[in-house]
């Protein structure tokens, strides 16, 4: 770490390879629902963010660590397709996959599932989504991803 408190990119050595797929479980909160106990469409976007940050965390690097090294990932494209409602107090399973990218971007695909009857956690597909994240520095200018984060 530099004397300024800013972390160096070299300090961000992951403990393992960044996984290409992961699952995150989230309980639908009351504040995320409408009067009929259905999760509001806007609730899904933060759930997707949980999926992405959990992939990073699985290799031993947090998004906070990346920000401290002045590496930021900004959403440049997001598409969501709703299939079935998620409801209050259900556990949703967000499946996040790295689907591509390049030197300065990462693409993800997502599935959002609920378990209503089979006990496996993924009985009803609620939504699918895709996103593209661009890597930028603290001024918002494009920069290369750290080598360990470049999708292969």
- Give me 79's structure tokens: 């598409």
pLDDT value of residue 3: 45
Look at residue 148 and give its three-state secondary structure: helix
pLDDT by residue for the chain (152 residues), tens digit each? Answer: 444 455 555 568 899 998 999 999 999 999 999 999 999 999 999 999 999 999 999 999 999 999 999 999 999 999 999 999 999 999 999 999 999 999 999 999 999 999 877 666 678 999 999 999 999 999 999 999 999 999 88
pLDDT value of residue 62: 93
pLDDT value of residue 121: 66
pLDDT value of residue 8: 56
* CB burial string 17-26: b at 16+ within 10 A, e below: ebeeebebeb
pLDDT value of residue 123: 87
Question: Is the model's pTM score more than 0.85?
Answer: yes
Contacts 24+ apart (CB under 8 A), 114-117: 114/84, 114/86, 114/87, 114/90, 115/90, 115/91, 116/90
């Amino acid at each position: 770490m530099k004397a300024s408190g800013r972390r160096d990119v070299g300090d961000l050595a992951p403990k393992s390879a960044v996984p290409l797929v992961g699952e995150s479980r989230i309980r639908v909160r009351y504040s995320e629902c409408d009067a009929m106990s259905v999760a509001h469409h806007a609730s899904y976007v933060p759930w997707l963010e949980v999926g992405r940050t959990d992939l990073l965390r699985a290799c031993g690097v947090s998004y906070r660590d990346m920000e401290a090294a002045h590496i930021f990932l900004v959403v440049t494209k997001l598409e969501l397709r709703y299939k079935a409602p998620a409801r209050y107090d259900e556990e949703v399973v967000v499946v996040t996959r790295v689907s591509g990218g390049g030197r300065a971007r990462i693409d993800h695909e997502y599935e959002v599932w609920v378990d209503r009857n089979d006990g496996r956690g993924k009985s009803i597909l609620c939504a699918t989504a895709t996103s593209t994240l661009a890597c930028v520095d603290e001024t918002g200018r494009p920069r290369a991803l750290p080598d360990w984060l470049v999708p292969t």
